[in-house]
Amino acid sequence: MIVVITALTARAGRARAALGRATAIPFLVRAGIALCGLVAVLVAWPQPLLAGRNLALLALIAMYPAVAPRGRGATVAALVVVAGWLVDTTVFDARIALWRVLALATLLYLGHTLTALAAALPFDAVVNLDVVGLWLARALAVVLISAVLTVVALGLAAELAGPAFLVATLAGLAGAVGATLLVARLLRRA
Amino acid sequence: MIEHPPREPWPGPAWVPTRALGRSVLLTGLLLVLGVALGRVDLVLLAAPFAIGAAIHLRRMPRSAPEVTIGSDDEHVVEGGRIEAALTVSNPDVIAYDLVVVRTRTSRWMRLEQADRPFAVAVPADGWAAVELPGEALRWGRQDVGPAAARVAACGGLLACRPVITPARAVRVYPVTDPFNATEAMPAAAGLVGNHRSRRTGEGGELAGVRPFAPGDRLRRIDWRVSLRTRDLHVASTLSDRDAEVLLLLDVLGEVGRSGGVAGSASVLDTTVRAAAAIAEHYLQRGDRVSLLEYGAAARRLRPATGRRQYLTVLEWLLDVRPDPVEQDRAEEVFGAHHVASDALVMVLTPLVDPRAADMLAQLTQSGRYVVAVDTLPAGAAPQNRNQWTPLATRLWRMERENVLGRLREHGVPVVAWAGAGSLDLVLRDVARMAAAPRGR
């Protein structure tokens, strides 16, 4: 028992020291990760399930990558958000609204890229503003291109009405080919 | 038999995929598979930013590793003075580094601004970025800036470079010299050039007296006023000007006391080095020859020379002074009086903690050298308090040390505590007087 208490006290001391050394920009980046995760969960999961203990657990999972950006927490958080989205649209039969797809895509990608930044950025670093500025500008460009694609694709799907399955298959196949090419290129390089 | 050279270990790729790349690929693949399987466009669209982001970022990939260099102003830095160090990260690649985290270690005697923190900068393609580390050098010596390490993330954090480490760079920090001024005569001057008036009459500038003209005297030495008054030729005799050799013997058998840098308390080696620099500066400015010798295992030596060049050499030599203990049974091999020129003024800078130092002083005096001992022990030096007997033991040790100092004084070794300007004047006068007495013990 005493050993546990000592370990906990030591850990708390280290955490306090770390907090004392923390600088503003890495802290803001991590706050951004937590915010993106939290909002993504709120957007994705069905309202009836977002209550009480469920909400606390989901919020914890969504915000965990902010604390440990180098771990697998970000992948788990993104998968939880996708799972919530699937549950809402299949079990609860929610309508696939454009704003929700846009918001989810944006939040998931921002959370992912901010986690990548936080993983490389020590919490006590002195950061030049251009680092974060350029990083966010690139992320926003990606988000913007995806948003345009989303609007066009969903509009196309609505127009075609019936063969949404076909659109999904075509888009999915195109994406899969792109991803395969990317992985092949990476493998060749290694 | 043919020997094959040992095969070098295969160097791993400098750039490795990060967890962000794995996450990107996993989410893209999973969402695409789900989208196709369930016939859902929205899932494919959720994957779109990840796929687009990876495609944009990985369209060009880095090939070469970054270079980190540590720079510092190599001008004359004296302890307590300002120093400008800088870490420069250069990017020889064709793509920009999105994030470079560079950090460095520094010697504890360098107080550089925020040097204990990592710095995050972005470096453009084929460019460089510098992190300025202005600060202050707190203590003499060769103080390290570095080693520095840089980690680079490129392609939007999807690829990272293995840490690049640059070895430390030593910055020369010279000891601050307490102004020192000794006006007393040197005990024994050597050559016929120099600034010291000798005890002998000869060609020089200092008036020794007026005496009747004798064959061999130069005509320009004739003192016409006295000659007219006395109606006999008189000449003004002068003392010849001579230079001398000063040997600074530095006791480096051990370090005592805690150094607090230039503004804090001085340890034995701090006092030794600063005093040696001040004494050397003083005598070199006067045109004397100064040499240095370490009383330690390595017994480093600096040959006697004169002038400003020698002063700079002395300062450089002093930077490498560090404790250099000698085993008890090897003390005799390390140092002998034969290392010391017979007419040199020997200034021994010693804390007189090791009994061998006192023996060495006595030995030098016995062999007829002009010796001055400069006590470098800090005033409040005491061992760490371990138990109730420590204060008593310390007192006993202090009394014993006083005893040794007294005995040394009795044997004609002046011992003086270093207190900067003028602390040696009185002692040097005594030594000069001693030297004037007939020798031949």
Q: Looking at B182, B210, B241, which one is the last position of a domain?
A: B241
Contacts of A78 in chain B (CB under 8 A): 23, 27
Q: For residue B22, list chain A residues with Cβ-Cβ distance below 8 A.
A: 75
Distance CA(B133)–CA(B111), nearest Å, equals: 9
A96 contacts in chain B (CB < 8 Å): 40, 42
pLDDT band for A31, please (50, 70, 90 cuts).
Answer: very high
- Least CB-CB distance to A168: which of B13, B18, B39? B39
Which of A127, A142, A168 faces B41 most closely, judged by CB atoms?
A168
Q: Which residues make beta-bridge pairs with B289?
A: B245
Q: Which of B85, B229, B62 is nearest to B154 (CA)?
A: B62
Could you tell me what percent of chain A has a pLDDT over 70?
84
Q: How many helices (DSSP H) and strands (DSSP E) are in chain B? A: 9, 20
Residues in B touching A108 (Cβ below 8 Å): 27, 46, 49-50
CB contact under 8 Å between A117 and B157, yes or no, is yes
Question: Do B84 and B217 fall within a single domain?
Answer: no
Q: Which of B192, B217, B241 is the last residue of a domain?
A: B241
* Closest to B170 in 3D by CA, of B200, B188, B144, B193: B144
Domain finish residue from B241, B269, B291? B241
Closest chain A C-alpha to B33 CA, distance in angstroms: 7
Closest CA in chain B for residue A190: B13
Nearest to B120 among A131, A141, A157 (CB): A131
In a domain, B381, yes or no: yes
> From the CA of B86, how many Å to the nearest CA of chain A?
15
Residues B224 and B285 in one domain: no
Regarding predicted confidence, which is higher, A167 or A130?
Answer: A130
List the end-to-end C-alpha distance of chain A, in Å, as a whole number.
Answer: 49
pLDDT grade, residue A142 (50/70/90)? very high
Residue B413: both structure tokens together: 């070794």
Number of domains in chain B: 4
More confident of the two residues A187 and A41: A41
Q: For residue B5, is it within any domain?
A: no
Task: Please tell me the distance from the alpha carbon of residue B144 to that of residue B156, in angstroms, as a whole number.
Answer: 34
B258 and B354 share one domain: yes
Is residue B105 within 8 A of residue B138, CB to CB? The reply is: no
- Considering only CB atoms, which chain B residues are within 8 Å of A113? 20, 53, 156-157
Question: In the predicted model, is pLDDT for residue A139 greater than 90?
Answer: yes
8 A C-beta contact, residue B101 and residue A120:
yes
In a domain, B297, yes or no: yes
Q: Are residues B393 and B305 in the same domain?
A: yes
pLDDT on residue B100: 92
Give residue A77's pLDDT.
94
**Residue in B41, B54, B121 closest to A182 by CB:** B54
Residue contact B157–A113, C-beta within 8 A: yes
| Minimal C-alpha gap between B321 and chain A (Å) | 36
Which phi and psi angles does B226 have, rounded to 5°? Answer: -65, -40
* B365 and B288 share one domain: yes
Q: Is B249 in the same domain as B232? A: no
- Give the DSSP per-residue string, B318-384: HTT-------GGGHHHH--GGGS-TTPEEEEEE---SHHHHHHHHHHHHTT-EEEEEE---TT----
Return the structure tokens found at A92. Answer: 């609860």
Examine the domain organization and report whether B145 and B208 are in the same domain. Answer: no
> Would you call B214 helix, strand, or coil by DSSP?
coil
For residue A74, the chain B residues in CB contact (below 8 A) are 19, 23
Mean pLDDT by 10 residues, chain B (441 residues): 46 76 90 85 88 88 87 80 89 89 89 88 90 88 88 90 89 79 52 50 63 82 88 78 75 81 81 86 82 84 86 90 77 65 82 83 82 82 80 87 86 79 68 58 41
Cβ-nearest to B153 among A82, A120, A146: A120
Residue type present at position A36: C
- Output A110 or A12, whichever has higher pLDDT: A110
Nearest CA in chain A to B99: A131
Give the chain A residue whose CA is nearest to the CA of B13: A190
| Same domain assignment for residues B339 and B265 | yes
Tens of pLDDT, residue by residue over A105-127, are 999 999 999 999 999 999 889 99
> What predicted TM-score, i.e. pTM, was given to this entire model?
0.75
- What is each CA distance from A29 to A34, A75, A80, B341, in whole angstroms? 9, 17, 21, 70
Mark yes or no for CB contact B26/A142 under 8 Å. no
Predicted ipTM?
0.86
- B193 lies in a domain? no
A112–B19: do the CB atoms touch at under 8 Å?
no
**Test the B interface: residue of A142, A152, A159 with most B CBs within 10 Å:** A142
The confidence score (pLDDT) of residue B391 equals: 86
Residue type present at position B184: E
| Distance to chain A for B122, nearest Cα, Å | 5
- Smallest Cβ–Cβ distance between B41 and the set A127, A143, A164 belongs to A164
Q: Supply the DSSP symbol for A128.
A: -
Q: Are B285 and B320 in contact (CB under 8 A)?
A: no
- Residue B163's domain comprises 67-174
Q: At what angle do helices A52-67 and A98-120 cross, to 10 degrees?
A: 40
Q: For residue B221, give the DSSP letter.
A: G
Rounded to 10 degrees, the C-alpha dihedral B54/B60/B65/B71 comes to: -100
Compute CA distances A45 → A48, A114, B40, whole Å: 9, 22, 17
Same domain as B369, residue B225: no
Residues B419 and B324 in one domain: yes
pLDDT at B297: 80
What is the mean pLDDT of the segment spanning A2-21?
A: 81
State how far the alpha carbon of B421 is from the alpha carbons of A182, B220, B261, B274, B347, in Å. Answer: 75, 40, 20, 12, 15
Interface contact flag, A124 B34, Cβ < 8 Å:
no
At a CB cut-off of 8 Å and minimum separation 6, what does B78 contact?
A: B137, B173, B174, B175, B176
The residues spanned by each domain of chain A are 1-127, 128-190
Which conformational region is residue B218 in: left (phi greater than 0), alpha (psi within -120 to 50 degrees), or beta?
A: beta
A interface mutation test: which of B41, B91, B98, B152 has the most A CBs within 10 A? Answer: B41
Q: What is the pLDDT of residue A78?
A: 93
Give the per-residue pLDDT at A166: 64
Residues B221 and B291 in one domain: no
B221 and B235 Cβ atoms separated by less than 8 Å = yes
Q: Measure B50 CA to nearest chain A CA, in Å.
A: 6
The more confident residue out of A3 and B69 is B69
- Are B300 and B387 in a shared domain? yes
Q: Is residue B26 part of a domain?
A: yes
B113, B115, B117, B122: CA torsion to nearest 10: 90
